[in-house]
Structure 1
Amino acid sequence: MTTRRQVLATVCALTVIVNVPVAVRSQPSASTRRIGFISPGGTAVVESFRASLADLGYMDGRDIHIDFRAANGQLDRLPELAGELVGLKVDVIAVVGAVTARAVQKATTSIPIVFAIVVDPVADRVVASTDRPGGNMSGVTSFDPQQARMQISLLKEAVPSLERVAILWDLGVSELLTHANEEAARSLGLRPQSFGVRGPTPDIDGAFAAMLSEHAGAVLVLEEPITVVHRKRIAELANAHRLPSMFARDWMDAGGLMAYGTSVVEAVRRMAGFVDRILKGASVGDLPVETVTRQELVLNVKTAREIDLTFPPDLLKRANTIVR
Structure 2
Amino acid sequence: METAAIGLAIPQSLLLRGRDDPMTNRRTVLHGIAWLALPTVARGQPAQRMRRVGVLSAFPADQVAAFPKQLRAELEKLGWTDGRTITVLEPRTSEGSNDRLPALAAEVVGLVPDVIAVFSAPGTRALMQITSTIPIIMVGVGDPVAYGLVRSYTEPGGNVTGTSYLVNELSSKTLGILKEVAPHIKSVAVFVNSTNEGGEPILKAVQATGNSLGIRIHGLEVRTAADFEPAYAAIRRSGTESLLLSPDPLVLSQRGALGRFAADQRLPLAIVGPARFLDAGGLLTYGAPFNQFTAATARYIDRVLRGANPARLPIEQPTRFELGVNLKTATALGLTISQSLLLRADELIQ
Q: TM-score range by the shorter chain?
A: 0.7 to 0.9
Q: Which residue identity is paired with 1:245? A: L
- How far does the alpha carbon of each residue in 1:94-136 deviate from its partner, in whole angstroms, 9 at most, with x for none? 1011111111001100000000222211111110111111110
Task: Work out which of the two has the higher radius of gyration on C-alpha atoms and give 1 or 2.
Answer: 1
Question: Residue by residue, what CA displacement relative to the aligned partner does 1:3-28 show, whole Å, maximum 9, x if unpaired?
Answer: xxxxxxxxxxxxxxxxxxxxxxxxxx
Task: Specify every segment of 5 or more residues in structure 1 that has no aligned partner in the other structure, as ranges.
Answer: 1-29
Which one of 212, 232, 243 corresponds to residue 219 of structure 1? 243
Q: Give 2:83's match in structure 1, choosing from 37, 54, 61.
A: 61
Distance 1:150 1:236 in 2: 24
Count of aligned pairs between the two proteins: 294
Distance between the aligned counterparts of 2:230 and 2:289, measured in 1? 30
Question: What TM-score results when the alignment is normalised by the length of structure 1?
Answer: 0.85
Deviation of 1:147 (Å): 2.4
2:314 maps to what in 1?
288
Question: Match of 2:32?
Answer: none
Tell me the residue number matched to 1:245: 269
Distance 2:81 2:69 in 1: 8
Residue of 29, 41, 48 corresponding to 2:59 = 41
> Contact 1:38–1:70 (CA<8 Å) still a contact in 2?
yes
User: Following the alignment from structure 1 to structure 2, what is the Cα–Cα distance between the partners of residues 70 and 146?
Assistant: 27
Deviation at 1:63, TM superposition (A): 3.0
Residue of structure 2 in register with 1:323 after alignment: 349
Distance 1:136 1:237 in 2: 42
Choose from 270, 280, 284 the match for 2:296.
270
Q: How many angstroms apart in 1 are the aligned matches of 2:318 and 2:137?
A: 15
Q: 2:174 aligns with which of 137, 140, 151?
A: 151
Over the aligned positions, Cα root-mean-square deviation in angstroms equals 1.8
Q: Give the C-alpha shift of residue 240 in structure 1.
A: 1.3
1:228 corresponds to 2:252: yes
Q: Is 1:50 matched up with 2:69?
A: yes
Percent sequence identity is 35
Unaligned runs of 5+ in 2: 1-47
Alignment partner, residue 12 of structure 2:
none
C-alpha change, 1:59 and 1:231, in structure 2 (3 Å) is farther
Shift of the 143–286 alpha-carbon distance from structure 1 to 2, 3 Å rule, reads same
In the aligned structure 2, how far is the partner of 1:92 from the partner of 1:45?
A: 18
How far apart in 2 are the matches of 1:111 and 1:95? Answer: 12
Question: How many angstroms apart in 1 are the aligned matches of 2:156 and 2:207?
Answer: 29
Given that residues 45 and 268 in structure 1 are in contact (C-alpha distance below 8 angstroms), is that contact kept between their aligned partners in structure 2? no
**Aligned-partner Cα distance in 1 for 2:102–2:121:** 13
